[in-house]
Amino acid sequence: MNTEEYRSQLTALLRSLPREEREEVVSFYMESIADRIDEGMSEEEAVASMVSPGQAAEAIIAEAGEKRKALVPCEASVDRNDEPDLPEGVVDIEGAEDANVESGEDDPASPDGFFARAKTRRFTPLEWVALIVTSPLWLTLLIAAVACALVLVIGIAAIALALYICAWTLIACLWLIGGAFVVSVPVVLVFAVWGLQIGNAPFSLVNIGYSLMLFGGGMWVLKAALAVTRAFLRWQKESVAVRFSRRGRDFAEEADLADAPNTTNLAHDAAGVSAGSDGVLEDGAAVEAFGAGTAGASSIAARTKPYALFFRICWMLALGGIACALVGFLASGLDWRVFLTSNFSLGKMYLGGMEVAHPEQLFLSPHFLIELASS
């Protein structure tokens, strides 16, 4: 055995020790060999006069007193008969590893094998870095991060969709309210006829006022619904469809240029009013104008669009309806019951507080229709 072989065997047997300590031990033994050679021995003689690497390692480990430390497997070149005879209390991990090979505990991929090795070894900083970087925990964290991102995206999308549906529902409600107002006009007019039939003129006046208010107001509500629908569609087109289109900004600009005159006209149409003398409306002006419409604004609308006159008439009808209802109320001697349409009490029918002696004679009443059908 030469010096290098001695060094490699001793180094291999002491691999369980910290690197600095191992190097110090090996250098001590190398120094002794070198001193022997300086004294005139040949290299082989010098090495032969030393204790074997196994004995040296045994003594060093026993002295270290690290009961749980152990020798790592020797290199293939190490003579197994030269392995140290470990003292009691020092674990021969090599022997343990031989025993574990069959049980699979030493499998590097096995968690048991890994932790067993981790307990008996000190990792270098580089090994720690490698352990952390290659930890399967990162995959778990990545999956969790992706899941969180997905949940966030889906949540935002769900909220956006819910708001979108709510907006359309409100618009639909506006259409329904306006439509219901207009559709109910004939029904209210029938009540007015019934009032005349039973001689309750104030009741008829009030119901005629109702019908005028319902028609005028209903038409304005429908107009507002149309304006809101257009405004929402325009916002949707500009804020959602255009921004996400593949053509991007160019398409948006084209759309703006193409829609600009129409948009202004539509706003005029919807509102029938203008907040300023230049005729330019902002988004939502139609709705605001509905609530705060003025006669001056109506006159501008009448000049600009033919059908604006219709809405002006509707506006006047609504006002006239209010006046008509008030006149009916005054004519009744301020009897609030004229505002009631009809009610039944103890088998009798009342219209505007007045009992109806012959309900079957009322125009288009259920009795009337039945008799009409039978005749």
Footprint on residues 64-83 left by another protein (CB under 8 A)? 64
Least distance to another protein, CB of residue 131, Å: 31
User: Are residues 351 and 361 in contact, defined by beta-carbon separation less than 8 angstroms?
Assistant: no
Which range in 57-65, 228-236, 278-286, 313-321 contacts another protein by CB under 8 A?
Answer: 57-65
Q: Which of 7, 8, 11, 34 binds another protein (CB under 8 A)?
A: 34
Which range in 22-30, 142-150, 272-280, 294-302 contacts another protein by CB under 8 A?
Answer: 22-30
Question: What phi and psi values does residue 271 have, to the nearest 5 degrees?
Answer: -85, -35
Cβ partners under 8 Å of residue 279, min gap 6? 264, 268, 300, 304
Q: Is the dihedral of CA 73, 79, 80, 84 positive or negative?
A: negative
With 0-12 / 13-18 / 19 or more C-beta atoms within 10 angstroms meaning exposed / middle / buried, residue 183 is exposed
| Residue 32 vs 263, nearer CB to another protein | 32
Binding status of residue 35 toward another protein by CB under 8 A: yes
Around Cβ 113, how many Cβ atoms within 10 Å?
A: 18
| Residue 39 vs 278, nearer CB to another protein | 39
Around Cβ 227, how many Cβ atoms within 10 Å?
A: 26
Binding status of residue 32 toward another protein by CB under 8 A: yes
Binding status of residue 60 toward another protein by CB under 8 A: yes
Least distance to another protein, CB of residue 39, Å: 8
Least distance to another protein, CB of residue 87, Å: 12
Q: Is the dihedral of CA 208, 212, 218, 219 positive or negative?
A: positive
Size of the site for another protein (CB under 8 A): 21
Binding status of residue 59 toward another protein by CB under 8 A: yes
Which range in 54-62, 218-226, 252-260, 305-313 contacts another protein by CB under 8 A?
Answer: 54-62
DSSP for 100-116 reads HHHHTTT-TTSHHHHHH
Binding status of residue 6 toward another protein by CB under 8 A: no
Q: Which of 38, 88, 102, 278 binds another protein (CB under 8 A)?
A: 38
Measured CA to CA, the distance from residue 228 to residue 172 in angstroms comes to 10
N-terminal to C-terminal alpha carbon distance within the chain: 134
Binding status of residue 3 toward another protein by CB under 8 A: no
Q: Which of 50, 206, 297, 318 binds another protein (CB under 8 A)?
A: 50
Binding status of residue 51 toward another protein by CB under 8 A: yes
Q: Which of 12, 47, 56, 213 binds another protein (CB under 8 A)?
A: 56
Binding status of residue 62 toward another protein by CB under 8 A: yes
Which range in 62-70, 117-125, 134-142, 166-174 contacts another protein by CB under 8 A?
Answer: 62-70
Strands 354-356 and 342-345: unpaired
Binding status of residue 29 toward another protein by CB under 8 A: yes
Which range in 50-58, 121-129, 175-183, 344-352 contacts another protein by CB under 8 A?
Answer: 50-58
Q: Which amino acid is at 280?
A: V
Around Cβ 11, how many Cβ atoms within 10 Å?
A: 17
- Three-state SS string over 11-66 comes to HHHCCCCCHHHHHHHHHHHHHHHHHHHHCCCCHHHHHHHCCCHHHHHHHHHHHHCC
Cα R_g (the chain), whole angstroms: 50
| Residue 35 vs 360, nearer CB to another protein | 35
Least distance to another protein, CB of residue 89, Å: 16
Cα–chain-centroid distance for residue 196? 61
Nearest to 184 by CA among 206, 213, 205: 213
User: Are residues 56 and 10 in contact, defined by beta-carbon separation less than 8 angstroms?
Assistant: yes
Binding status of residue 36 toward another protein by CB under 8 A: yes
Least distance to another protein, CB of residue 86, Å: 14
Footprint on residues 207-246 left by another protein (CB under 8 A)? none
Residues forming the site for another protein (CB under 8 A)? 25, 27-29, 31-32, 34-36, 38-39, 50-51, 55-56, 58-60, 62-64
